[in-house]
Structures are given as C-alpha cells and as structure tokens.
Structure 1
C-alpha cells in the first residue's frame, strides 16, 4: 500500500540497554610497560672515596648549597656566634646579636666564667626606660670591647616588692649566657635604713653565687661620712679588696669613678666607671658602666667586681618613677 510509511525495525530490550550504558575506557588488563624498554650497556660501579670507606653516611646529601640563613659555627670555634640557638635571623629585620665565641674550659674556673678569663674590660648597658613610663624590671646587656654580647642580666623581683621598697627593694639578678643557661646569681636582701646609719644591720649587702647556689663572695657597704666605701669578700666573708667611690656619686656632667684597690688602699686592682651619657642619663634609666681589671686577676674576683657594679647601680643611679595616685 502506497499510504503506509516504512518504520525502523524493532530493537530488543538488551540492545537498548547496551546503547544507554557508558563505555568503560579502562583496559581489561594493564599494559606491559617493559615491552618497549631496550637494555643499555653494563655500567662499572665506582668505588667510594677514601674519606668515606663505607660509602656515604645515612642522610648525606652531598655538598650544601648556600641558603638564605648562615649556619652557626661549632662550639669552641673562632668565629663569633651570630644568633641564639634555634633562632635564625629573619630576613628584612634588624641584624642578629653577635655573641662572643665560646671559650675552652679553664681548670679551677666556675662554669660560665670562662669568658671573664679572656677579658680585662667589660661594658654593662642597661636597657633604656623613660622615667614617666611604667616601671619594669631592670635588664642589662654585657658586652666586650668588640661589641660582642657576653651575658644578659635580668632582675627577678616581685611587683609588690618593687613598688613598696622601690630603690631599696630586695632582688635577684640572673646572669645568663647565649644558651640561656644561668651562670651567675646575685642576691640582695632587704635592709632597713630608717635607724642609725652606722649600724651594720642597716648597711647594704649582696651575695654572688656561681654556679647558682654556690656562694663565691659578698659585697658589703660601709658607713662613711664623705664617700661610698665597700669591701669585696670571699665565700668565707674575708676581706679581699676595697672599693671607694667619689664624694658626689651622682656625677652630673661627668663620669663617676669607683676605684678598686687591695686592702692597703694603695695598689690599684681595677675600676668601675659609671659613664655620663648626657640626656640619656638625665631623662631615664639607661646606665652604662665600664668595668676594668687586670687580665690575670683571679676570675672569682673579676666576678665579684662585676657583681659590685649592680649594687652601685641600685644604690646611687636607680631612679624610682613618680608615685601614682591610688584609685
């Protein structure tokens, strides 16, 4: 019949399901990747160098390429230490602190005082603190003539004690090296100065310990009508050295020199000089002390003269901030 339009042959249900199901591109079995590899000529093994008889050690990555941070020298080296252990300098910031090279151990020397055996001059630099600011605990940097850091000194005192007793407060000063190890401790007990000034119980005293817990000497203040007078004693409280200050310890416009002598008062042993820093000295706590002693002086006596410097600072050059009205 001419009016009938031919149609497509009918498809079964299985054929229609196969057309709608997506094809899986993964092969039925992984290809053989070694089928196209052509073996090369045999290679003769190269023996290890004589410096490494057992070959390269585990973790040996060959020569190091220069990186953004310098690697620190080994302990006991001749180059100064550039930063604290574990603290690398951050780029685009201030230069890292340069520490004095670690000296070799010295016989009969308390641990941590080996630095003083190589020095005849050290500088005590107090961190600047404006008088009108909040009074904080004192901090000092100890440096040599090459501007290399030797120690850091931090005051350990309670806030109540600091505010109540102010410049007469008892304190503990902790001296640490570049590792953060406490090598020396200085104790100043509280002494009331309200009664008779010539009474020994009212005079200032400081104990120096090195290592912490082991006393090596005492610094005692003596009453004098005109000038500051101190005695430097050993661990048995026997007088070893004397220290005499100027008649005017304030030293406005000039240095204040404290002479360290033998017990005869004539033979000079050293000096503790409080440097006059102009406006910095007048407007805030930023004291600078220059300590000088013979290079061959007993290292314990060097530590005692070093400790006496801080007692002088608290007694004559520490400025208390103005009292604040209570709420």
Structure 2
C-alpha cells in the first residue's frame, strides 16, 4: 500500500530499559535501581523562624534567590576585595602621608610660602636617630613640619658632609633644604662657620643664619646678639635692618619643662609670637628628637613668618643639639 511509512516493531518496556542502561562491568559496582518518583499532595506551610530569611540560615543564600553580596569571578591576577578602602591599612602597602592641601598662588608672595599665609602655628618635629644615640655618629638632621591638624606642610633636610658634622658638631656650618609635597625646594637656610675662639662679644663670633626663598633670593637674616645670661637674636630683612627680636629664657637646659623663646617688637613692648621647645621626655632629649611649636599672628607678613621659622633651627643647633662627651686621656 502506497503512502504508509513502515515503523519499527514495538519492544517491551524491559527490553527498552536494558538498551538504554548498560550494566556496569565492574564487579563491585552498586546495583541499578529503577526509581519511580510520584509527587504527592503539598504539605502544611511551616512558618520561618526569626533570623532565617527565606528558610535558610543567616549567611547562606539560595541559588534561586538574589544574593545580597556581589559575586566575584576570580581570574588570573585579580583578587577579591578584602578591606574597605579608607578604613583599613592594606597589607604590604605604605601608609599614605596626609599633606596640607596646596593653596592658590598669591601675588607678592614667594613661591612655596602660600602655606604659611593660612597658618598661625606650625610644629617642627625632628626625626629620632637611634644611630646617634648608640654610636655618637652625627647624621644629617631631618624634620617634619606639620600644622595643627597633623598634616604635613614641609620637609626639612640637612645637607652637610660627614666630616663637617662630626668634626664641628653643634658649631658646624650647615645647609637646610625645605621641600614641599611635590619635592620642590622652596626655601634654603644657610649657617656659615663662625670661630668661637675669640671673645663672645666680638661680632665675628656671633652666629648667623641666612634664609633664601626661593633658593638664591635672600629674604632675611637671623643674627645672634651677645648677652651674658640669655639667648637674644634679631630678625632682619634682606637689607640687614632689624625688624623683630627673639628673647630666650635664662636657662635653656631645663629638664622636665618647656623652653620658651619670645618673639617681640624692637622696643620689646608688644609680643608677636613665640618659639617653644616642648619637653617630650629624657629619651627624646638623648636621641635629639626635638619638638618645637612656632606661633605667630595669622596676618603677619609671610616673609617674617618664614624668618621666625628659620630662627627655630638656629636655636635648635645652638642649644638643643647633643654633643658627645669628651674623654680626656692622661
């Protein structure tokens, strides 16, 4: 008969299952069981206890339900986030140093001194040098300049050779380089060598510091005045005209108390600011880790602020740098 498609003869059910499933040739293979699952009527609804959203314990999420945490696919060179940014220190990463935001450029202001126009006090923190305390080998001084918010403003680094530092110690001539957050040298302070063998009242024996901002352009000097019982300095402009005076305490070697150097007008009647050497303990004093606080009016001329800032370092080298004990041989 035409139009009839021949079909294969029907086989029993057992034969079809034997063709689909081939027996496992292994002798210890488990036997095959024909499971016939017949769904029954739904059971009663059980309320979900508190603390188990969606019927699963806290911390477990069903693949059918949206997960509260995004899934990260690990690929070569990519690792999951383990720390919240800005809250924890990432391992093997340097701690970022907070710097004071850079102010806008101002007219009639030396470049780099714009920071001082926004400040009425700064902190000068000398680095602790354990090598000096253990071996008495003098190293270059380093200072961190910070504001009241503990933000970095400048970094001051001494640039003196090893022979000069260890031969002349506290009387050594030095060059201090002041850099900003970009590493640019915005100020240079130079102290020439002055012989102290002659009389202290001789002008050639008095200490002096020159401040340049920018480097190569002199904005003023800090000159020592002879006095019998206390430290006295004059702050001068670029023409060496006296502008202010710095008057120290009778004793700058007090143990357990701060040393205050007052910045006054030329007549000594009005107080302009102060340079305070903070007492931070005997260990800081032995390791030459000094801490100074400098205060001046907010509206003071920025060049005079820089001159008071420079006077702090001349005071530090003259009175608070530790010299090793001299051993005499018989």
Normalised by the size of structure 2, how large is the TM-score? 0.70
Is residue 132–residue 321 contact of structure 1 (8 Å, CA) maintained in 2?
A: no
Match of 1:299 among 299, 302, 308: 302
Higher radius of gyration, 1 or 2: 2
CA RMSD of aligned residues (A): 2.3
1-side partners of 2:286 and 2:237: how far apart?
37
| 2:288 match | 285
Q: What is the deviation of 1:70?
A: 11
Taking the TM superposition and a 5 Å limit, the aligned residue runs for 1:48-59 are none
Is residue 132–residue 322 contact of structure 1 (8 Å, CA) maintained in 2?
A: no
Find out whether 1:164 has 2:167 as its counterpart: yes
| 1:225 match | 228
Is residue 128–residue 284 contact of structure 2 (8 Å, CA) maintained in 1?
A: no
Match of 2:134 among 121, 132, 135: 132
Structure 1 alignment gaps of length 5 or more: 1-66, 72-81, 83-88
2-side partners of 1:284 and 1:191: how far apart?
26
2-side partners of 1:68 and 1:198: how far apart?
67
> Helix, strand or coil: the match of 2:276?
strand
Find out whether 1:200 has 2:203 as its counterpart: yes
Moved more, 310-319 or 249-258: 249-258
> Helix, strand or coil: the match of 2:145?
strand
2-side partners of 1:180 and 1:324: how far apart?
42
Is residue 154–residue 175 contact of structure 1 (8 Å, CA) maintained in 2?
A: yes
Q: What is the deviation of 1:124?
A: 0.1
2-side partners of 1:68 and 1:102: how far apart?
33
Is residue 218–residue 304 contact of structure 1 (8 Å, CA) maintained in 2?
A: yes
Match of 1:313 among 312, 316, 329: 316
Q: What is the deviation of 1:92?
A: 3.8
Is residue 230–residue 242 contact of structure 1 (8 Å, CA) maintained in 2?
A: yes
Q: What is the deviation of 1:132?
A: 2.3
Corresponding pairs, count: 244
| 1:97 match | 97
Q: Which runs of 4+ in 1 moved over 6 A?
A: 67-71
Normalised by the size of structure 1, how large is the TM-score? 0.71
Q: What is the deviation of 1:164?
A: 1.2
Structure 2 alignment gaps of length 5 or more: 1-80
Is residue 217–residue 233 contact of structure 1 (8 Å, CA) maintained in 2?
A: yes
Cα pair distance change 1:193/1:69, threshold 3 Å: farther
Is residue 135–residue 321 contact of structure 1 (8 Å, CA) maintained in 2?
A: no
Find out whether 1:112 has 2:112 as its counterpart: yes
Is residue 165–residue 172 contact of structure 2 (8 Å, CA) maintained in 1?
A: yes
| 2:244 match | 241
Find out whether 1:272 has 2:272 as its counterpart: no
